[in-house]
């Protein structure tokens, strides 16, 4: 689509950001909705983050996504937040309303929507659900699981104290934290209806030490937020057992589509973008 002075400018702040597939993804959102938008990657370093945010209204930019490593910093810099952003403590979408900026977070909604689309038949809503990791991505996942009504969440992390702090904040009445590679982990794995990896383990072919998936029930599902490679060792092991599996590509596209809808009021088609992106990544 041609860019003109009437185009609504959107974008993404990150450091680094040159590798981002979001501009191509949002170009396809624009095509599917017929909206005149252009999406620009902005390489913003930490020292320039506040200035870049303050400039958005003056530049006429309608909104930006926030990616690594700025999500928590942007949360602290903005005075207004959506309920999701406030609960997660991070912002991945900035909405510009006149001179005002509001921080939002579409990661949890994107994860929840993709989980329902990819693994809806596994009955994960009845729990228990095991979450691996206690970082920012885990916060979005736990928030989504609580919103979905999952009655029991077990968070496994190398440092259980960090995991428990997350649980105490987001799921105090339905969660607990355990240490990775512990007997408690294997007991929880044996009951889990869903296992979600929110860590970077598997990005370079690493395996989880002390995590035995053979204990997972045959009806369980496994979701790995990593999408490149499309099949991490965790997913390959689960697939070999005949378990339902999914990677995070759908979450990436769906959270982007939700951001686009909140900026423009138009809901883009998701499936064509998913197919294109999977082809681009050789999935």
For the chain, domains (ranges, CATH) are: 8-105 (3.40.50.10860), 109-249 (3.40.50.720)
State yes or no: cis peptide before 189, omega within 30 of 0: no
pLDDT score of 283 more than 70: no
What pLDDT was estimated at residue 265? 97
To the nearest whole percent, how much of the chain has pLDDT over 90?
A: 88
Share of the chain above pLDDT 70, in %: 99
**How far apart (Å, rounded) are the C-alpha atoms in residues 263 and 274?**
20
Q: Which residue bears the tokens 């072919």?
A: 205
Read off the pLDDT band of 166 (50, 70, 90): very high
Give the catalytic positions in this structure. Answer: 71
Instruction: Read off the pLDDT of residues 90-105 as tens digits, 9 standing for 90 and up.
Output: 999 999 999 999 999 9
| Mean pLDDT within 116-142 | 94
Per residue in 173-210, pLDDT (tens digit) is 999 999 988 889 999 999 999 999 999 999 999 998 87
DSSP 111-144: HHHHHHHHHGGG-GGGS-EEEE--SHHHHHHHHH
Average pLDDT of the chain, as a whole number: 95
Query: pLDDT at position 282, please?
Result: 80
> Cα–Cα distance between 191 and 215 in angstroms, integer?
8
Report how far residue 148's alpha carbon sits from residue 127's, in angstroms, rounded to the nearest whole number: 11
What pLDDT, on a 0 to 100 scale, did the predictor assign at position 93?
Answer: 98
pLDDT tens across 208-235, in order?
887 889 999 999 999 999 999 999 999 9
Predicted confidence band at 3 (pLDDT cuts at 50, 70, 90)? confident
pLDDT score at 1: 64
- How far is CA 32 from each of CA 57, 229, 268, rounded to the nearest angstrom? 26, 27, 6
Report d(CA 17, CA 21) in Å as an integer.
Answer: 9
Checking if the pLDDT of 156 tops 70, the result is yes
**What pLDDT score does 193 carry?**
96
pTM of the model: 0.94
């Amino acid at each position: 689509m041609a860019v003109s002075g009437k185009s609504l400018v959107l974008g993404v702040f990150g450091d680094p950001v040159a590798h981002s597939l979001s501009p191509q993804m949002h170009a396809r959102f624009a095509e599917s909705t017929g909206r005149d938008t252009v999406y620009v990657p902005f390489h913003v370093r930490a020292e320039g983050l506040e200035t870049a945010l303050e400039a958005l209204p003056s530049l006429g930019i309608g909104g930006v996504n926030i990616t690594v490593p700025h999500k928590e910093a942007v949360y602290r810099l903005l005075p207004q937040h959506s309920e999701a952003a406030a609960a997660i403590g991070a912002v991945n979408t900035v909405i510009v309303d006149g001179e005002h900026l509001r921080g939002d977070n579409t990661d949890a909604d994107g994860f929840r929507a993709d989980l329902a689309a990819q693994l809806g038949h596994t009955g994960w809503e009845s729990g228990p659900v095991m979450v691996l990791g206690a970082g920012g991505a885990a916060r979005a996942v736990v928030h989504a699981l609580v919103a979905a009504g999952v009655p029991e969440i077990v968070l496994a992390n190398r440092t259980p104290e960090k995991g428990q702090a997350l649980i105490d904040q987001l799921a105090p009445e339905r969660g607990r934290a355990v240490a990775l590679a512990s007997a408690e982990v294997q007991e929880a794995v044996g009951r889990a209806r869903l296992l979600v990896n929110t860590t970077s383990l598997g990005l370079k072919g690493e395996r989880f030490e002390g995590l035995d998936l053979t204990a997972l029930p045959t009806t369980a599902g496994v979701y790995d937020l990593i999408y490149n490679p499309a099949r991490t060792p965790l997913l390959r092991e689960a697939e070999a057992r005949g378990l339902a599996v999914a990677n995070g590509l759908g979450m990436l596209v769906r959270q982007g589509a939700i951001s686009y809808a909140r900026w423009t009021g138009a809901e883009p088609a998701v499936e064509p973008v998913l197919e294109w992106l999977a082809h681009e990544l050789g999935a």
